[in-house]
Structure 1
Amino acid sequence: MIRAISVDMDGTFLDENGEYNRARFERIYAELVKHQIKFIVASGNQYYQLKSFFPGKDEELFYVAENGAVIFHQGELRSVNRFEERLVQKILRTLIQDYQDLQVILCGVKSAYLLKAADSNFKTFAKKYYFELQEVNSFDVLPDDTFIKFALDVEVTKTGQIVEDLNQMFNGEIRAVASGHGSIDIIIPGVTKGSAIQQLLNEWRVTPDDLLAFGDANNDIEMLQLTPNSYAMQESSPEVFATAKYIAPSNKEAGVLQVIEDYMEKSQRP
């Protein structure tokens, strides 16, 4: 019996326009509430951006944001995993000196930060995903914040090589992972959407067998590995297809909502 549902957002829950059928979701969500099924929004994106998709539900939903580095519920920070300041400075030096053609966002709990000198198109892109975003002259002096992730934008064709290079260069101090469409996240080793969701399941005394999970990119793999009720979206990465048990219809066809509706319908049959 399903007792919790976790959904990635971009490429999974959201359609190609970054939206979802809100009226349809409201009908489904009312059934989830009736059956005491918890809904987890699990994304590499910032909490402040994620909650904007679900107005009025901040008290009810659980947000696993920044690829599991933070958990928010009822508007409060429930859990945080942070990089040491020394390592933050080392990563920034490497990115800025060795990879002049990539764009960097330093993600903190309070805000995200990018350089004033960043590409204007990248700034526009960043504002779409980071609702709390500040521009800084340099990263020589770090802002007063707790740092939890780095988000990089690179040429799509270079993604795999840069991920491999960074993981080798930092040798277990970080984990670089592709999050789709030329985006790379640098995260804390062992801290993933899967580890954060497992933490919530433990609190609720819910087994992974009672979790329904959806994803499309490599930063979803640990979440999908948790449960036999795992779905790769129709346009997922090869690694996600190899991990998930099932394939959901495309995000362009509200595949997540289709699968949840099917589950709810089956659960109500005598």
Structure 2
Amino acid sequence: MVKRCGSSKRKVSLGPFQDGSKPRLVATDMDGTFLNQFGEYDRERFARVLSAMAESDTRFVVASGNQYYQLRTFFEGIEEEADASPIAYVAENGALVVDDGLVIDHASLSQGVVKDAWRLLSSRVDAECALCCVSGAYVQHGSASQGFFELMSRYFPRISWTDDLTSLSDIALKFSIETRNGTEQALSEAVSDALCGALVPVVSGNGSVDLMAPGCTKATGLATLCKRWGLSLDECLAFGDNGNDVDMLAAVGWGAAMDNAALDAIRAADTTCPPNTESGVLETLEQLFLD
């Protein structure tokens, strides 16, 4: 049963880490989880936490649907400030894994799958999409509005227009889709049926849907890092708030959903913590590493 922590004054249930033992890895989603409602976090406060985590030999991992090049801008220089190990990244909802600046794993959609998906997506009037690749994201001319391109650039700063999404030399990781008028569920079902499981839809909130390679999730990205570092998922603590966090929250030794998380994330988690508007991740980590 999920234990709620509805107030930032109350202690969060820490499960296997309740007795003073520390997780060897802490992973967190960003939007709606680590970042507040303004898309920010308290850098000085986090630097103290990160320093304490380093003393406990605990690694910090950012796990997000966003582009690696966007995610790393939030943390430039903070490892040096905290005298901590480099932050690792499970980006693109698990399709790109980066450790110490090196890509150690990535998905790779075949050209056939890209063509089949694009044929389906380009015929829909309720969605606009970008193809996310290792080197950047791409939007096809004539298929999307300038407004969509500008929205995507917030999460995928390395983004450009292209004449043909299906003939890129870059390695394709996933499709990122923005739906209109609450059609994300209908689109997800249509894609699943039409592509016969070649791509798996993952809903990440606010009308956003990612089409992922089967078996590619934030949880598999964490598993890749655990194997690299000689850890197990049972030694990990994770925070999340939406559908794209469900697998990660369920896979780790202890998963914490934000109080304001989507219901499926709360169901997958072991506990809840204060919402992102109250810096719930930082507060929980302070309880764990600084109290």
Specify if TM > 0.5: yes
Q: Which has the higher contact order (CA 8 A, sep 6+)?
A: 2
One-letter amino acid of the structure 1 residue matched with residue 52 of structure 2: E
Contact 1:71 1:78 in 2 (8 A): yes
Q: How many residues are paired up? A: 264
Q: How far is the alpha carbon of 1:200 from its aligned partner?
A: 1.3
Q: 1:216 to 1:178 in 2, by over 3 A?
A: same
Q: Which runs of 5+ in 2 are unaligned?
A: 1-21, 80-84
Secondary structure, in 3 states, of the residue corresponding to 1:212? strand
TM-score when normalising by structure 2: 0.87
From 210, 214, 224, the counterpart of 2:239: 214
Q: Which runs of 5+ in 1 are unaligned?
A: none
User: Match for residue 13 of structure 1?
Assistant: 34
Matched, 1:239 2:264: yes
Quote the Cα distance in structure 2 between the aligned partners of 1:224 and 1:156: 29
Superposed CA RMSD in Å reads 1.5
Q: 1:72 to 1:186 in 2, by over 3 A?
A: same
From 159, 182, 202, the counterpart of 2:207: 182
Contact 2:52 2:290 in 1 (8 A): no
Percent identity among equivalent residues? 33
Secondary structure, in 3 states, of the residue corresponding to 2:53? helix
Matched, 1:158 2:179: no
Quote the Cα distance in structure 1 between the aligned partners of 2:65 and 2:90: 8
User: Match for residue 128 of structure 2?
Assistant: 103
From 235, 247, 254, the counterpart of 1:229: 254
Matched, 1:47 2:68: yes
From 102, 105, 115, the counterpart of 1:79: 105
Secondary structure, in 3 states, of the residue corresponding to 2:211? strand
Contact 2:116 2:195 in 1 (8 A): no
Q: Deviations along 1:148-198, whole A, 9 cap, x unmatched?
A: 110000025211121122112212211001011110000011011001101
TM-score when normalising by structure 1: 0.93
Q: How far is the alpha carbon of 1:16 from its aligned partner?
A: 1.1
User: Match for residue 64 of structure 1?
Assistant: 90
Give 4+ residue runs of structure 1 displaced > 4 Å after superposition: none
Q: How far is the alpha carbon of 1:12 from its aligned partner?
A: 0.6
Q: How far is the alpha carbon of 1:137 from its aligned partner?
A: 2.7
Q: 1:128 to 1:75 in 2, by over 3 A?
A: same
Quote the Cα distance in structure 1 between the aligned partners of 2:208 and 2:161: 20
User: Match for residue 168 of structure 2?
Assistant: 143
Contact 2:180 2:207 in 1 (8 A): yes
Contact 1:12 1:216 in 2 (8 A): yes
